[in-house]
Amino acid sequence: MPFGPQQPTPISHAADRQRTIYVAGASGIKPIIPISETELQSQAKQALSRKAYDYIAGGAGKEHTVSHNQSAFRQWHILPRMLRDVSQRDTSLELFGRKMHSPFLTAPIGVLELAHKEGDLAVAKATSSLGVPMIFSSQASYPMESCSALMGNAPRWFQLYWSKSDELVKSLVQRAENCGCEAIVITLDTTLLGWRERDLNLAYLPFLEGKGIAQYVSDPVFQQLMAEPDLAAPEKRKVTATTLQTAFKLMNRYPGSFVGNLRSGKPLRAVRKFIDIYSRPSLNWQDIPKIRAFTKLPILLKGILHPDDAKKALEIGIDGIIVSNHGGRQIDGAVSTIEMLPEICQAVQGKIPVLLDSGVRTGADVFKALALGASAVCLGRPYAYALAIAGEAGVREYLLNMMADFELTMGLAGCKSLSEIGRACLRPEHPF
Ligand SMILES: Cc1cc2nc3c(=O)[nH]c(=O)nc-3n(C[C@H](O)[C@H](O)[C@H](O)COP(=O)(O)O)c2cc1C
């Protein structure tokens, strides 16, 4: 099945990938992005402004959950088996009727323009060239239609923040369906924004500069909502040089001409309306089934951490779960995802796919998640770092590295395909 507008370059096996890197190295050519995630993060830090880097890397509070997400993977060890003829390795799987080369997707990451001016467009091109499903964020920097136009038949999903307006929810979901999205992911853990110390220290929220609100300002229902009178009149504040700079960025960023935007005052109204309605703190289990009236697509819930919530999701007929703590950006001190995965899989009993994100950094992490019952994982911050360093090509290289790393780990552990990866492939650090 063709993935991109052109046929994607066939993905080579891990051994070819290693060879390509080593042979280029012999001619003095280094990989365009670092292979190790820690180095990737530190190069991205150098490439980005402090505000942009802190927004992406930061988490809630003291960031204990950000680090715990990764250290919790180290609580599990792979127990390899030998002499199992792993010359032929197949990392493919089928998810919601779509064949995938490898068990991962890109997690929805908002405001990607902070990492690179091409933002989501670069990620759309990189993922579609490899057939890796991209999950468009509600907080994207480019409208979903612009990304889809670059992706041919490549797989994509849409992530939804349930707005205060059901009409807006309907419109976003139907746009997603119209632009070829194959599933809707409802993120549950961000009905309120977490206490993010780095952003608060810098007093920086990108949305106030009009960044990350492209799905809204391109939406016909949002446009209508903007026309409604503004009930919450803005507080009068002293105008400083920074206020003017922020206003300048906003006028420039908003669709249309700078002068037109200045005259109409639309960008400011859009930001205020967005802040007012983008999420619904009252969201509850009774709201979720309403989405079935808006779309026939499979629905996944992202942000599930408690097995009872997983059971509840099953009861209301949800099609899939993403075990996630939003990369530690919401509750500091929250459980890691990998520690909750076995109980959630136990609760779900294989009836629907369970995906996982938060802290996945290496092929071994992907392997461990699969061994504990995940069908696939979502890759997060590292692809944003790769984007910051080398744009579309950086994201593509990062994904190719993950594919190779996972394939080698799987083969070296004695597994030829995903069906052979199971609980018996792991030992806990501290036996229960
Ligand atoms: C900068 C940033 C923006 C994010 N934006 C969204 C978003 O718009 N919607 C969403 O559901 N999750 C969002 N997430 C969470 C990711 O989808 C994912 O759960 C998280 O990045 C996983 O953690 P990891 O990156 O540490 O692996 C965001 C994460 C980051 C780092």
What is residue 176's predicted lDDT score, i.e. its pLDDT? 98
Nearest in space to 336 (alpha carbons), one of 348, 349, 325: 325
Q: Return the number of other C-beta atoms located less than 10 Å from residue 357's C-beta.
A: 29
In contact, 345 and 77? CB cutoff 8 Å: no
SS3 content of the chain, % helix, strand, coil (to 5): 50, 10, 40
Q: Which of 138-142, 254-258, 294-298 has the lowest mean pLDDT?
A: 254-258
Looking at the predicted structure, is the pLDDT value of residue 182 above 70? yes
- Of the pLDDT bands very low, low, confident and very high (cuts 50, 70, 90), residue 269 is very high
Provide the pLDDT for residue 235. Answer: 65
pLDDT at 73: 98
Q: Are residues 399 and 273 in the same domain?
A: no
In a domain, 225, yes or no: yes
Pocket test for ligand 1, best of 67, 104, 326, 358 (most atoms within 8 A of CB): 326
Residue 225 and residue 177 share a domain: no
Domain boundary among 258, 277, 296: 277
49 and 188 share a domain? yes
Report which of residues 295 and 430 the model is more confident about. Answer: 295
State the number of CA atoms in the 13 A half-sphere of 185 facing the CB: 32
Distance in Å, CA 28 to ligand 1 centroid: 36
Of 162, 97, 156, 147, the residue nearest 302 (C-alpha): 162
Residue range 54-107, pLDDT digits in tens: 999 999 999 999 999 999 999 999 999 999 999 999 999 999 999 999 999 999
Of residues 10 and 29, the one with the higher pLDDT is 29
- Catalytic residue set: 326
pTM of the shown model? 0.97
> 136, exposed or middle or buried, with CB in 10 Å at 0-12, 13-18, 19+?
buried
Asked, for residue 59, whether it belongs to a domain, the answer is yes
CATH code of residue 403: 3.20.20.70
- At 232 the pLDDT is 56
Quick one: which atom of ligand 1 is closest to the CA of 212? 8
Say yes or no: 268 and 289 in one domain. no
Residue ending a domain, among 250, 277, 304, is 277
Clarify whether residues 144 and 245 are in a common domain. Answer: no
Give the model's pLDDT for residue 1. Answer: 44
Residue-wise pLDDT for 332-365, tens only, equals: 999 999 999 999 999 999 999 999 999 999 999 9
> For the residues 394-400, what does the mean pLDDT come to?
98
Tokens of 11: 């993905």
Is residue 139 included in any domain, yes or no? yes
329-338, pLDDT tens digit by residue?
Answer: 999 999 999 9
Query: Where is the domain boundary, 277, 293, 318?
Result: 277
How remote is the CA of residue 344 from the centroid of ligand 1, in Å?
Answer: 21
Nearest CA among 338, 336, 339, 348 for reference residue 307: 348
Q: Is residue 305 part of a domain?
A: yes
Residue 358 CA to residue 380 CA, distance in Å, equals 7
For residue 70, the ligand 1 atom closest to its alpha carbon is: 26
Same domain, 252 and 345: no
Q: 5 lies in a domain?
A: no
Is residue 9 one of the residues assigned to a domain?
no
My answer on whether 233 and 305 are in the same domain is: no
Query: Per-residue pLDDT for 303 more than 60?
Result: yes
Q: What φ, ψ does residue 136 adopt, rounded to 5°?
A: -70, 135
Q: Which of helix, strand or coil describes residue 277?
A: helix
Residue ranges of alpha helices (H) inside 349-380 are: 363-371
Q: Are residues 379 and 408 in the same domain?
A: yes
Closest CA to 123 of 381, 404, 393, 358: 393
Atom 10 of ligand 1, residue of closest alpha carbon: 108
Q: Are residues 92 and 239 in the same domain?
A: no
**Cα(417)–Cα(419) distance, integer angstroms:** 5
Best of 113, 323, 377, 381 to mutate for ligand 1, by most ligand atoms within 8 A of CB? 381
Give 218-265 pLDDT, tens digit per residue.
Answer: 999 999 999 887 665 566 677 888 888 888 888 888 888 888 788 888
The pLDDT of residue 190 is above 70: yes
How far does residue 50's CA lie from ligand 1's centre (Å)? 18
State the CB neighbour count (10 A cutoff) for residue 188: 20
Backbone angles phi, psi at 239, to 5 degrees: -85, 120
- Residue 92 is predicted with a pLDDT of 97
Mean residue pLDDT across the chain? 95
At 172 the pLDDT is 98
| In a shared domain, residues 39 and 155 | yes
CA distance 321 to 311: 10
How far, in Å, from the CA of 409 to the mean position of ligand 1?
A: 25
pLDDT the model gives residue 389: 98
Q: Are residues 293 and 147 in the same domain?
A: yes
Does a structural domain hold residue 7?
no
What is the percent of the chain with per-residue pLDDT over 90, rounded to a whole number? 87
Residues whose beta carbon lies within 6 Å of some atom of ligand 1 = 55-56, 69, 107-110, 137-139, 159, 187, 302, 324, 326-327, 329, 357-360, 380-381
Q: Give the helix ranges, DSSP H, for 64-118.
A: 64-71
Report the C-alpha gap between 273 and 230 in whole angstroms: 8
Query: What's phi and psi for 93, nearest 5 deg?
Result: -155, 170
Instruction: Please say whether the beta carbons of 139 and 110 come within 8 A.
Output: yes
Residues 20 and 87 in one domain: yes
| DSSP category for residue 90 | B
Domain that holds residue 213: 199-277
- The mean per-residue pLDDT over the stretch 271-287 comes to 96
**Count of structural domains within the chain:** 2
Residue nearest atom 1 in ligand 1 by C-alpha distance: 56
Could you give the angle at the alpha carbon of 35 between the alpha carbons of 87 and 30, nearest 5°?
A: 100
> pLDDT tens digits, residue range 403-431?
999 999 999 999 999 999 999 999 999 86
| Residue ID of nearest Cα to ligand 1 atom 31 | 56
Is 2 a domain residue?
Answer: no
